Structure 1
Amino acid sequence: MSEQKLSDNERLKRESNFLRGTIETDLSDQITGGFTADNFQLIRFHGMYQQDDRDIRAERAKQKLEPLHNVMLRARMPGGVITPTQWLAIDKFAEAHTLYGSIRLTTRQTFQFHGVLKPNIKLMHQTLNQIGIDSIATAGDVNRNVLCTTNPVESELHQEAYEWAKKISEHLLPKTRAYAEIWLDGEKLETTDEEPILGSTYLPRKFKTTVVIPPQNDVDVHANDLNFVAIAEEGKLVGFNVLVGGGLAMTHGDKSTYPRRADDFGFVPLEKTLDVAAAVVTTQRDWGNRSNRKNAKTKYTLDRVGSDVFKAEVEKRAGIAFAPSRPYEFTDRGDRIGWVEGIDGKHHLALFIENGRLLDYPGKPLKTGVAEIAKIHQGDFRMTANQNLIVAGVPTAEKARIEKIARDHGLIDDGVSEQRKNSMACVSLPTCPLAMAEAERFLPSFVTDVEQILEKHGLPKDDNIILRITGCPNGCGRAMLAEIGLVGKAPGRYNFHLGGNRNGTRVPKMYRENITVDQILEDIDQLVARWANEREDGEGFGDFTIRAGIIAPVEVSKRDFYA
């Protein structure tokens, strides 16, 4: 590795003065609405991506105008918990200072602002800081927002797991003062910034971590570099099974890239959690590929050096020996939409938010509805990794009042099908610069088509297929853990993947490449007809496609995915 030329991102990080670069100079440049040179990449470490509205890009070019540059900000919210007071503040900012006026709940269990123009960027960070939120390390080559299973029922266990998600997030954060200096007008000191965990050039590539509470796999552990599977005894957390090396991103046409399941390293007691987290991160920091960013994620490091070798190094650095994994099982990964009662007697209302997009639509003022709930709610909100929102900790006396607000604003719709609840898409067009095909804007109508196919073949109303769509192969919509996964290839064309399972433990395999929506629906129609007629009792669609020999299972990603 040392003989290979490093990627230019390594130079960029090395010369950035611990992520400062010349971002402040760019902020004061009124000639362009964007960030230039290295700063275009560096702002990602501060939680932002530069984007533009691709729907109007060509028209602006005709007018001799640069693209309508703006930023998308992703907040750092470990475990997705947010207070009503915080919610009202982000709602107000989105309404007043973004191009689209929306709040988007993401698969990373947090919220995003889309369409923030350069003059409002510092105000955005300072507004968040005033309510105890930041966007440090939610993008870039660092450990990103730590997910935690949203479990409103077993409240005590969830609280313990959530606290560990926060501790892990804080432990792995960058230590540089750059964020405070640039965005919060922090005092600028002659400093010797040190990054004892992340290193002076940070990680080779992005790194994702979760805390998951079986039997729910709502965080999709196999999409992440590092996962802590909560093991409880008599309702109390005693430690974690540690899963390493999951990831879904790939590159079209490059067979050196592939989705991969995480490997189970074993069990560790609670007191060793942070040591193990740091050991996995530092091993990937030192051993990851810094020459080819397409092969820089942890999953490729494990396959290159061997999982056993990587595990032994983690044990050495953490000063532990993994014990055999404790038994656990994943049975589901969807959110339980509607009311559930927790063991503490409090009630929790999970609201289905299609695509996670909170906006006031004609006849469905969703964003206003959540704000109205926030004005009276005394508990908290929990954003889920499935792009939904839970109103948590509602006393019995407040249930009716909150439900009425939700229904009046279209946040509860009894007619939403199980299929729609179990379908998901990334943002894609018009704002994502990587998008090759539609995803968020395409999903609603496509789900309607799939619903009609299920009804046509007599499937029960409570049956569904885990369906996910991404506009490119980078994995944000987690299509590579779906029973049907569509991956954008070109406008109106997708790669069609089959064979994932309901609990998210199997990667699907490409069934047909670069086909139109009409071709996909024709295939789904034929496949669902067979599923309806040939399925075994309770057999999910993905499991059926494997058993019936329609698609081969992906047992080992590198070997089987392209076979």
Structure 2
Amino acid sequence: MYNPIRIDDIPNEKEGDEMSDSHSPTKNETIKARSDYLRGTIASELAENTASFSDENREILKFHGIYQQDDRDLRPQLKKQGQEPHHQMMIRARIPGGIVTPEAYLVFDELSDRYGQGSLRITTRQTFQWHGVLKGNLKKTIRSINEQLVTTLGGCGDQVRNIILCPAPLNTPFRRELENVLKSLADALSAKTPAYHEIWLDGQRVDVGADEAGAEIYGTSQPVSAGAEVADPVEPLYGQTYLPRKFKVALAIEGDNCVDVYTNDLGLVAHGTKEHLEGFTVLVGGGMGRTASRPDTYPRLATPLGFVTPDQIIPLARAVVSVQRDYGNRSDRKQARLKYLLDNRGLEWFRHEVEQRLGWELLPARPLHWKNTNDHLGWHDQGDGRGWLGIFIPSGRIRDTGSFRMKTALREIVSRYRPGIRLTPEQNLLLTGLDPGVRTEISKVLHQFGVPLAEELPPVQRLAMSCVALPTCGLAVAESERALPGLLEKLQQTLAEVGLADEPLSVRMTGCPNGCARPYVGDIGLVGRSPGRYDIWVGGDSVGTRLASLYETLVPYEELVNVLRPLLVAFQRHRRPGERFGDFCTRVGLQHLREIAKTSETSPAQKGL
């Protein structure tokens, strides 16, 4: 059961040293234990005229939705000159379901110009993040975000991250019930520490005793059952040391796996009719992260656990999180995700633990049937006389570049028509609640600023995703967002040459093996392994229910399309009717694919023509 680390239990160690005992808590655990519920000394360091935070506060800041980074493009030059790195912050909001008001969008747009790098970035978890914010502007930025009733607490850190939901804004009783579940989950699984408001908003410290903590102050729900909550007046779900690692939750609608529900620690698949939400099939243990040098780390798809009715979803979710809190690995962060706990202890053990905390048995999981992974782009009817327009955002980056003025176009449309905004798990954006009469006008605005409609894009571009990677992400070992456009241009040319110009082919690129763009479930996953070199994964399916397989390692960026070309040629010649590229690769098998590559004729592209 829950056994929080106490400050007295922490061995003496030098800052940054690893524990010698393999069962000792990691440095991150000791930092959380002595952080005073995520306060640390952030407030005092904010008042200092410095460009960066201490290492310990840097870890605590993640819980507040802030990553301290630096411009890695400038590192060599600054190091040569004997200067410190160019420190800057990335701020990530928590926006459940990616639902944004037009007023909030316009504020976010303005903040990105005033305090950021002039761009907004949509993440694969349906939220915004800002890059390039200087330390001295942090408090002003976060205050402005909160004025729009949006928080950054829970954007990062060892806690439940932003909960994602199929973005389609259909006006049905089923959809309204589902969005109510989303709001309840976001509240029930969020951190309750007052440190966030103390540091970023009103500056007043609030000390809460055991008799003072309650739902009225912190929005906490009643205990699920004995054992599922902890005896902690500030954090009744998380306790003093929160979770062993990040925890991701997704809500999908059966038939449309646009959220890649199997890649989440907790996946909830909604069943019902247009008029009624019947309940959820519960999936547990998904996750994309891995470390290339450690074979005991791997991507994993979530496993069915059971079925719950809508009124059972909150206690179920809190029970699942509490099992991970109590038994997740706190001595090895690379083994700390829920997927490893499941594989080490077994699904039956996990189900028993969850049911013990609930006080009742789960119903059997329902069989799941998937039709597609709809990107929701283009014009659609909402069912209430209004419609939505899904706009493709390259790599989720909203900015103006040359004649492509996406940021200006969206600002103009949102200012003029005041649509609702939905961010998607594919890094795109939906404009909702639009009168059909403005369709032509909005299309003209987009074209005026060089923004194509979704139907004007080739499928390989429309389905592509990438992580941020260089120059800001501290984990990236290779390019991703900046490298993807050139790769797609070359790949599209190759697809046209082999007769696959209109083939729906999903390419997902990341700058490291952690998998933020979910490369292990795409048709083609390109995973950075070292500067300029990538592993190629192939064989994911079109509905996100099958992992891709590692086809080739350490391929230079310039050779990626050449290495893929023989597979594309074979696919075009030998595919079965309706077969997708990932299905073909899985059916043929890796060994045969490699034989095809070895015996293929040298193509014009391989000759460099």
Global fold match (TM > 0.5): yes
Q: Could you tell me which residue of structure 2 aligns to residue 561 of structure 1?
A: none
Q: Which residue of structure 2 aligns with residue 558 of structure 1?
A: none
Alignment of structure 1 residues 32-111 onto 2, 5 Å: 32-98=50-116, 100-111=117-128
- TM-superposed deviation, 1:320: 2.8
The aligned runs of 1:465-476 (5 Å cut-off) are: 465-476=505-516
Alignment counterpart, residue 181 of structure 1, candidates 198, 217, 237: 198
Q: Distance in 1 between matches of 2:546 and 2:591?
A: 13
**Pick aligned residue for 2:471 from 430, 437, 453:** 430
Query: How far apart, in 1, do the equivalents of 2:420 and 2:367 lie?
Result: 32
Aligned residue among 139, 148, 166 for 1:122: 139
Q: Is the 8 A contact 1:499 1:551 kept in 2?
A: no
Q: Which moved more, 1:152-161 or 1:54-63?
A: 152-161
Question: In structure 2, what is the equivalent of residue 559 of structure 1?
Answer: none
User: What residue ranges of structure 1 are gaps of 5+ in the alignment?
Assistant: 554-563
Q: Residue 232 of structure 1 aligns to a residue in which SS?
A: strand
How many angstroms does 1:475 deviate by? 1.2
2:566 corresponding residue in structure 1? 526
Equivalent position of 2:495 in the other structure: 454
Aligned to 2:217: none
Matched to 1:73, the amino acid is: I
- Name the stretch that deviates more: 55-64 or 438-447: 55-64
Kindly state the Cα deviation for residue 499 of structure 1 after the two structures are TM-superposed. Answer: 1.1
Query: Structure 2: how far apart are the matches of 1:320 and 1:428?
Result: 45
Match of 2:222 in 1: none
Q: Is 1:418 the equivalent of 2:459?
A: yes
The higher radius of gyration belongs to: 2
Distance 2:27 2:169 in 1: 44
Match of 1:162 among 179, 188, 195: 179
**Which deviates more from structure 2 when the two are superposed, residues 373-382 or residues 273-282?**
373-382
Match of 1:345 among 382, 385, 397: 385
One-letter identity of the residue aligned with 1:227: G
| Aligned ranges 1:295-334 → 2 under 5 Å | 295-334=335-374
Partner of 1:293: 333
Return the alpha-carbon distance in structure 2 between the equivalents of residues 313 and 498 of structure 1: 36
Deviation at 1:514, TM superposition (A): 1.1
2:27 match:
8
- Distance (whole Å) between structure 2 residues aligned to residue 451 and residue 551 of structure 1: 26
Q: Deviations over 1:418-457 (max 9, x none)?
A: 1101111000000001100000001111111111121111
Q: CA separation in 2, counterparts of 1:337 and 1:394?
A: 14
How far, CA to CA, are the matches of 1:158 and 1:64 in structure 2?
57
Q: Which moved more, 1:195-204 or 1:1-10?
A: 1-10
User: Is residue 280–residue 310 contact of structure 2 (8 Å, CA) maintained in 1?
Assistant: yes
Residue from 583, 586, 593 that aligns with 1:546: 586
SS for the counterpart of 1:497 is: strand
Match of 2:14 in 1: none
Q: Aligned-pair RMSD on alpha carbons?
A: 1.7
Structure 1 position 549, deviation (Å) = 2.2
Q: 1:8: Cα distance to partner?
A: 1.1
Equivalent-residue separation in structure 2 for 1:551 and 1:536 (angstroms): 19
Quote the residue 1:212 is aligned against. Answer: 252
The match for 1:278 among 290, 293, 318 is: 318
Q: How big is the shift at 1:346?
A: 1.3
| Partners of 2:492 and 2:501 within 8 A in 1 | no
Q: 2:181 touches 2:310 (CA, 8 Å); kept in 1? A: no
Unaligned runs of 5+ in 2: 4-21, 210-232, 594-609
Matching residue of 2:221 = none
Task: Give the match's secondary structure for 1:38.
Answer: helix
CA separation in 2, counterparts of 1:477 and 1:322? Answer: 32
Instruction: Classify 1:372/1:40 alpha carbon distance in 2 versus 1 (closer, same or farther; 3 Å).
Output: same
Measured in 2, the distance between the counterparts of 1:235 and 1:328 equals: 20
Q: Which moved more, 1:67-76 or 1:328-337?
A: 328-337
Q: Write out per-residue CA displacement over residues 245-275 of structure 1, whole angstroms, 9 at most, x where no aligned residue.
A: 0001000110110001101011100000000
Q: 1:26 maps to which residue? A: 45
Determine what percentage of the aligned residue pairs are the same residue. Answer: 40
Residue 195 of structure 1 deviates from its aligned partner by 1.1
**Count of matched residue positions in the alignment of Structure 1 and Structure 2:** 550
Report the Cα offset of residue 535 of structure 1.
0.2
Query: Is the Cα contact below 8 Å between 2:534 and 2:554 reproduced in 1?
Result: yes
- Letter in structure 1 aligned against 2:197: A
Cα offsets for 1:118-160 (capped at 9, x unmatched): 1100001110111111101111100000000112346543332
Rounded to whole Å, the distance in 2 between the matches of 1:480 and 1:117 is: 34
Asked if structure 1 preserves the Cα contact closer than 8 Å seen for 2:458 and 2:501, the reply is no
In 1: Cα distance, 2:486 partner to 2:591 partner: 26
Partner of residue 490, structure 1: 530
Name the CA distance, whole Å, in 2 between partners of 1:551 and 1:277.
42
Tell me the CA shift for residue 341 of structure 1: 1.1
CA shift in 2, pair 1:194/1:552, >3 Å: farther
2-side partners of 1:245 and 1:230: how far apart? 18
**Distance in structure 1 (CA, Å) of the matches to 2:374 and 2:74:** 36
Give per-residue Cα distances to partners, 1:6-45, cap 9 Å, x unaligned.
Answer: 1111110000000000001211221x31110310100000
Residues 366-419 of structure 1 show CA distances to partners (whole Å, capped at 9, x for unaligned) of 111111111122431100010000001111222222222222223334542111
Alignment check: 8 A CA contact 1:231 1:326 kept: no
- CA shift in 2, pair 1:483/1:20, >3 Å: same
Which residue of 2 is the match for residue 557 of structure 1?
none
Structure 2 letter corresponding to 1:143: V
Of the structure 1 ranges 543-552 and 108-117, higher mean CA displacement relative to structure 2 is found in 543-552
CA separation of 1:64 and 1:527: change in aligned 2, threshold 3 A:
same
Name the SS of the counterpart of 1:190 in structure 2: coil
CA distance in 2, matches of 1:412, 1:167: 37
Name the SS for the 1:114 alignment partner: strand
